[in-house]
Amino acid sequence: MLDPDLASVLLAFALAGALAVPRLRKALRRGERFCESCGRRILLGERTCDCDS
C-alpha cells in the first residue's frame, strides 16, 4: 500500500513534469540555429543546405 503523503508528492512531481514539457519545446525552438549564408535551419548541428561556409 502506498502512503498517501508519498502519493501526493509523487503526483505533484508528475504534474509539474507534465506542465514543463511544452516549455521545453518552446526553449528548443528558440535555440534553433540558422545558416549565415542562406538562412536555412541547421538541424542537430548539420546544415540542411549546400552552402560551403
2-33 tens-digit pLDDT: 899 999 999 999 888 877 777 766 766 666 67
CB 34 within 8 A of CB 27: no
Mean pLDDT within 23-48: 74
Looking at residue 13, what is its pLDDT? 93
CB 20 within 8 A of CB 14: no
**Model-level pTM?**
0.41
